[in-house]
Structure 1
């Protein structure tokens, strides 16, 4: 087994096991959704060392000694709290299946670039598919979150 940090706590993963499988099946992090399993839908997006990445594409040996943040830790991050508030205010999601991946993609962006441009926000979301096609409300929520983060709320 290989050690890594999960939401601030020590965790272990087998070197040949996918991060997605470990998160969902062994570590109880079921907020990270399992969908396409080939890195095309973004439902399994987590933060690896602060960068948004698809958990289905990572093997245990790739996360050794690194920090992984899942949707379960979202509200421990200032950017995450602002994003939750903004998505609620803008009715950002319908069914919510894409929500964890979208939220983690945006938190990754806002952590690195709090003043992200509209184009940067759209680019950050390119890898996230919404089955309900709620892209307009998701974008409104993302733009609102940027404002909240800038205002430090």
Structure 2
């Protein structure tokens, strides 16, 4: 799953200000490129199980973003989110995560494992009124049916 279709590198006018976030410009650029390259490359999802304690059964899973790069190693998720929000990439990241969650759910459904999936969104996503519609479209895509 590539997030690049949600990310317009050419249109972006990113200025990496290391004083603002405490990261060097190359590290901020690495995060920016990683978001544009998307989920399934260096950005990965892992799932935290949701258990119904009364029944002792698995009822769902929450998607958690993780990122390991060959050079610096593990990239802190708060750094990824901060760069995504600051550089107007949070919608691209959210849509890439939504697409991957829907894909992963479809894989489990084909294996007759029907559990709900969830993921967090940023408050910044709520400023974009079309984000819910785009996530719904992803949910109704061929992976989600």
**TM-score, normalising length: structure 2:** 0.36
Higher-Rg member (1/2): 2
**TM-score, normalising length: structure 1:** 0.35
